[in-house]
Amino acid sequence: MANRPTCKTKDGRKERKRKIYHAAFRFGLRSKRRKIQPVKMVKAVVGEESQLKLIEDRLSQSGLPVQLGLVVGKLSSPLDRGFVFDLVPTPPNDAGEAACSLLESVKDDKEKGTKSRSQAAEVSSLFIDDDWVAEHARQVARMLVGGVGVVGIYIWVSSDAFKNSTIMLYQTIKGVAEATPVLETDREERLLIHICYSPMRWTCRNCTWTSNITSSSLRPCDFKMGRVLTSLQTFKCTYNFNLSLPICHESASNVQTLRDVLRQGISHHAKELKDAKAIIDGNLVVGDEPCTLDGVHEVELLLPFMKDSNAEACSRKDALGVLVFNGSVCSFAYLNSKEPISQAVSDIKMDIIMSLQSRLDIICDEAYGDVGPKDDASPEASDGISTNKPVSQLVLHFLRKECSLSFPRRVFVPWLAGTYICDYLQPSETLEVLKDHCVELMSMEGPTDASTILKPEIEAPSLVTKSFWDVAAPFYSASSFPFGDDMEEGRDLDNSQSSVKLSNKLVFIG
């Protein structure tokens, strides 16, 4: 990517697009599932008829010889099914080149009669900008909520060209998968949808890559059109969290930037969240029954009571400071009506973690872009800290001053059939930015009416100056809790090591 011609754009988002990071950042959720869940392959795929017909019409009228883009939908392990909600074409890259083009051969006319395999390959094959497609996938994935993901790629091309380019398409899919890891399952599986124009035909292949590229790694599966989006169930959750991440002396050997600490904190929290119980519409989720009721379902997540997993097992450490990471994440997840309700819970959890992760990525992407010109430095960086580094790059161990990093707020934009996608807005950004993203990345018309955009999160408050002791002991603030009457004063325990206590008995005598 480094040698790609770049053009600095006004909103910084295009800048962001050029960077590809190691998207295969793995959370604990991934490895744990591996042992439990046998890998089941998707056997049948249903596409949303209303949307895909529209796309089909648009494609056949376009006269384009080739178009490549992303498949947005859901792969359901328990149902062995895939659902396709939408197809999103990958936009031209920064140099204005299409992500995918046909290479025409000079021998085209002469050899047409023989049609040997190798020559056919020369006749028409695809050129795909893999990195660009993967980057598009990464950014689209950020805009999707729980239960919806980039599940593969589609290609609109003649069947000859398709046949000649399967290996290349396979590579592209792999790149897309690496850019948008599905954390919740270990499914190394994506869809490849081929829309052939003469005759007009949709075919779907199931793509896996456990071994080397062989013919068996691209397996055809059933594809049909149907109603998918209208039967989706909507789940909503506002997740409030408050993490205290201690910064200790002993880890000074491997110095960590603020970004590293946050990344680690998020991945650590993901494990904790994985085991959280959930209440849906006031009822504890116990079984795996499907959800039958309509409407938006409220999800509440229950976490362990005062079990700070960030404070490691009893050992005295020298604390240099504490990183308080708190706020709320508004989350949505969509569930197919046949899926078990527990899936909605794990989709919501995944959405929360991905949302935190995406916001951190956005901050860091922008910070990378800003390293060069000083005047472009993020507002936080100029906030009294005498360094050119963006805040996310600060090494906390050496920092003797307070600093803060506000995460962008999440907003939800109406998408297809009453569903929403999301986007993130930095404090300086306006809804115009959001419109650009919708058009450019999701190939949709931007929202015309600002009132349809959900803005459940308010901007993070600016730094409230507190002392270390106030923050280190956040729940000790005596004012908020009425200590006193019911507090039992240090009941003495004889002998120190053990005590006998009769079980609390309630005895009623009449």
Sites for other proteins among residues 216-255 (CB under 8 A): 237-241, 244, 246-248
Closer residue to other proteins in complex, CB, 254/496: 496
Under DSSP, the state recorded for 407 is P
Q: Which of 118, 198, 292, 315 binds other proteins (CB under 8 A)?
A: 315
Taking the CB of residue 196, how many other CB atoms lie within 10 A of it? 17
Contacting residue, 326, 337, 428, 430, with other proteins by CB under 8 A? 326
Contact 130, 172 (CB under 8 A): yes
Gap between the Cα atoms of 193 and 204, Å rounded: 4
Separation CA 411–CA 379 (nearest Å): 21
Contact call for residue 288 and other proteins (CB under 8 A): no
Query: Minimum distance between the CB of residue 384 and other proteins, rounded to whole angstroms?
Result: 13
Quote the least distance from Cβ 264 to other proteins, whole Å. 12
Q: What three-state secondary structure class fits 76?
A: strand
**How far is the C-alpha of 116 from the C-alpha of 102, rounded, in Å?**
19
Single out the residue of 10, 22, 117, 505 in contact with other proteins (rule: CB under 8 A): 505
Please, which residue, 69 or 147, has the CB nearer to other proteins?
Answer: 147
Stretch that binds other proteins, among 39-47, 205-213, 364-372, 502-510 (CB under 8 A): 502-510
Q: Which residues of 279-306 are buried (b: 16+ CB within 10 A; e: fewer)?
A: ebeeeebeeeeebeeeeebebbbeeeee
Residue number with CB closer to other proteins (101 or 328): 328
In the complex, what is the shortest distance from the CB of residue 423 to other proteins, in angstroms, rounded to a whole number? Answer: 13
Contact 15, 8 (CB under 8 A): yes
For residues 18 and 410, which CB has a smaller minimum distance to other proteins in the complex?
Answer: 410
Residue 414 phi, psi dihedral angles, 5° rounding: -60, 135
Q: Which is nearer to other proteins, 84 or 335 (CB)?
A: 335
Q: Which residues on adjacent β-strands are paired with residue 46?
A: 83, 224
Give dist(CA 171, CA 128) in Å, integer. Answer: 10
Least distance in Å: CB of 484 to other proteins? 10
The distance of closest approach from Cβ of residue 449 to other proteins in the complex, given in angstroms and rounded to an integer, is 23
The CB-of-489 to other proteins minimum distance in angstroms stands at 9
If one asks whether residue 292 binds other proteins (CB under 8 A), the answer comes out as: no
**C-alpha distances out from residue 195 to 62, 174, 480, Å:** 14, 20, 62
Residues 6+ apart with CB under 8 A from 326: 240, 241, 242, 243
Q: How far is the CB of 81 from other proteins (least distance, A)?
A: 29
Among 328, 342, 382, 387, binds other proteins (CB under 8 A): 328
Total residues binding other proteins (CB under 8 A): 108
Q: According to the binding rule CB under 8 A, does residue 459 interact with other proteins?
A: yes
Does residue 461 touch other proteins according to CB under 8 A? yes
From the CB of 274, what's the least distance to other proteins, in Å? 14
Contact stretch for other proteins (CB under 8 A) within 6-14, 21-29, 65-73, 399-407 = 399-407
Each residue 345-364 as x (binds other proteins by CB under 8 A) or -, in order, gives -----------x--x-----
The strand pair at 81-89 and 67-76 is best described as antiparallel
Q: Does 453 bind other proteins (CB under 8 A)?
A: no
Candidate segments 85-93, 157-165, 185-193, 484-492, binder of other proteins by CB under 8 A: 484-492
> 369-398 mask for other proteins (x: CB under 8 A)?
---------------------------x--
Instruction: Please check whether residue 157 is in contact with residue 102, taking contact to mean a CB–CB distance below 8 angstroms.
Output: yes
Tokens read off for 166: 């399967």
CA distances in angstroms from 323 to 284, 386, 399, 471, listed in the order given:
33, 20, 12, 9
Q: Does 23 bind other proteins (CB under 8 A)?
A: no
Q: Which residue has the tokens 């398709």?
A: 162
Q: Which three-class secondary structure state does DSSP give residue 132?
A: helix
Contact by Cβ (8 Å): 194, 188? no
Binding mask 107-146 for other proteins (x = CB under 8 A): ----------------------------------------
Q: Which of 178, 300, 383, 429 binds other proteins (CB under 8 A)?
A: 300
CB of 327 to other proteins, least distance (A): 3
Question: Per-residue x/- mask for other proteins, residues 400 to 419, rule CB under 8 A?
Answer: xxxxxxxxxxx---------
User: Of these, 34, 312, 371, 452, which contacts other proteins (CB under 8 A)?
Assistant: 312
Q: What is the DSSP string of 376-397?
A: G--TTTTTT---SS-GGG-BGG
**Should residue 106 be labelled a site residue for other proteins when binding is judged by CB under 8 A?**
no
- What's phi and psi for 69, nearest 5 deg? -165, -170
Backbone angles phi, psi at 319, to 5 degrees: -90, 130
- What whole-number distance in Å separates Cα of residue 148 and Cα of residue 71? 10
Is 340 a binding residue for other proteins by CB under 8 A? The answer is: no
* Binding residue for other proteins, selected from 107, 277, 338, 374, defined by CB under 8 A: 277
Residue 241: beta bridge partners? 327
Q: Which stretch binds other proteins (CB under 8 A): 163-171, 177-185, 214-222, 465-473?
A: 465-473
Nearest to 80 by CA among 35, 132, 113, 41: 41
